[in-house]
Amino acid sequence: MNSGQVHSGLIIVDKPQGWTSHDVVGRLRRLAGTRKVGHAGTLDPMATGVLVIGINRATRLLTFIVGTSKTYTATIRLGQSTLTDDAEGEVTGGSIAAAVTEQDIRDAVSALTGEIQQVPSSVSAIKVKGERSYARVRSGEEVDLPARPVTVHRFEIHAIRRVSSGRLQDLDVTVECSSGTYIRALARDLGAALGVGGHLTALRRTQVGPYGIEQASTLEELAEDLRLLPLDEAGRALFPVRELSATEAADVSHGRRIDPSEPADRPVAAFAPDGTLVALLENRGAAARTLLVFAPGGKE
């Protein structure tokens, strides 16, 4: 452990298949030499792609990243339903999908685009009476989760392939959606709308907020070079920016109010004259107040 050698920032990981998000956090704790590591939104073990990791003080930014929009590429199989709504669960039903036409599929996809009410997968990490839903399902309990509003900004079909002598159909798609949207649930609901059942066979997250797969590094690459996005750079990418005077920076660093910021309806990243992230500000009444205060330069 090299505690103290790595300061605060974000690491964009290309999560490998078969790893849990917690596994990745554990690996980064060892690589970064600190226990203060967290992630901005779980990826299932089957899924690959962008997982945003926060190190030290940057963990305080993760709650803001969790709420950003996400983009995925996925493969949906029509003709089979599974217990987990993905390929890791046992097949529980389905019907031959040979008669489903491309127009049928496009109409059903259109109905699942925009603002919709979605019932999360029962094997999600949502807590039910203090216990994760997936744990209750695995213990044999039947879990019914309430629907909740999500937004599917884009649900684009790239290819439709007939497999298993035409009994099944595989769709390659891209989905851009709001935080809290379950791609497994989209696959399930698409299959249900077409009357044949459906589940997810592949999932890759390609974008989380401003961070894309082209910025991500594999765990093997990070073991050779721990590519850390500095806290200051992360603040500029995630929030509107306010440049402070030296007096304002001193006031903010001590939690004092200053004149209101623009835009007024969201947090603003406030920077000292030397370019370091001082704080996140939010307007309250006729003044801007600190939401979070960071040490100058993100130092520990």
Report helix, strand or coil for 58: helix
User: CA separation (Å) from 188 to 20, 49, 62, 149, 288?
Assistant: 22, 22, 29, 17, 45
User: Catalytic residue among 14, 44, 170, 189, which?
Assistant: 44
Roughly what angle, to the nearest 10 degrees, separates helices 102-111 and 183-193?
A: 130
Distance CA 189, CA 195 (A): 10
Active site residue 274: no
- In angstroms, the CA 299 to CA 6 distance is 10
Cα-flanking dihedrals φ and ψ of residue 295, to 5°? -70, 145
**Which active-site residues does the annotation give?**
44
